Copies of this chain bind each other. A is one copy, B any other.
Amino acid sequence: MDITTFSALAEPNRLRIVELLLDGPLPVGAIAERLELQQPQASKHLRVLLDAGLVEVQAMANRRNYKLRLDPFQELDAWLKTYRVVWDERFDALENYLQKLKLKEHNTNSNSGGIRNDIQNDN
């Protein structure tokens, strides 16, 4: 997973720009106006987004038209996908564990509320 995607989106105004561009490409001026940013700051943020590959630009006469790029979001999506799988597994494991615990609880009272106390340290 490319970290620059995260750092690009970690800035509030940049995230706002991205969400604005969701409605379609826009030139710098329109972005600055709608988000109430100074034009230079808008340009600077767009530069960062451009370098991060989140956005592409297309020159149209005087205007520079900024448009969302799909790739980084797809990468993000793929990254998340691996997490989803693991969660499903873990959720099942947790359910099993709680099931056993519930039964056990009727007898002893040791380790109440504990989860995964079988951690091993390979120092």
Contact (Cβ within 8 A) A27 B80: no
Is A73 positioned at the interface, with any CB of B under 8 Å from its CB? yes
Is A51 positioned at the interface, with any CB of B under 8 Å from its CB? no
- How big is chain A's contact interface, by range? 35 or more
Known: A6-B6, A10-B3. Is A27-B121 also a contact (CB below 8 A)? Answer: yes
Of the candidates B7, B77, B90, the one whose C-beta lies within 8 Å of that of A10 is: B7
Closest 3 CB pairs of A and B: A7-B10, A6-B10, A6-B9
Query: Which residue numbers of A lie inside 8 Å of B, CB to CB?
Result: 1, 3, 6-7, 9-12, 15, 22, 24-27, 29-30, 33, 58, 60, 63, 65, 67, 70, 73, 76-77, 80, 82-84, 86-87, 90, 114-117, 119, 121-123
